[in-house]
Amino acid sequence: MRSPTDQLESQSEAGVRTFTASEFKAKCLKIMDEVAETGERVVITKRGKPVAELTQARERRTSKYGALRGMITYKGDIISPVDVEWDAMKDE
């Protein structure tokens, strides 16, 4: 007789479990809970060919630091005085 854990594992190779679509459909919630817990990857197959992959969700960064990285371009020094006299600065 198979244990409950054996029933869930169809094939196991290097941290990847494989389920047929019908096996996955029948045990979907339990498989999802195990993936969330262990981080192990699951491949779902149809007629022996991989059609989907289930992996543990990654948490999104909550920090806004670095969010605009690569979007701002440095065009030169904007603080130093320029050699051109502005109309507003001229004496009348």
13 falls within a domain: yes
CATH classification at residue 38? 3.40.1620.10
Please count the structural domains in the chain. 1
34-73 per-position pLDDT tens digit: 999 998 999 999 999 999 999 998 877 677 887 778 888 8
Mean pLDDT computed over 1-11: 43
76 vs 18, 57, 69, 72, 82, CA distance in Å? 55, 41, 18, 12, 12
44 falls within a domain: yes
User: Which residue type sits at 29?
Assistant: L
- Domain hosting residue 51, numbered range: 1-57
Say what the pLDDT of residue 32 is.
Answer: 95
pLDDT-based confidence at residue 33 (cuts at 50, 70, 90): very high
- What is the reported pTM? 0.52
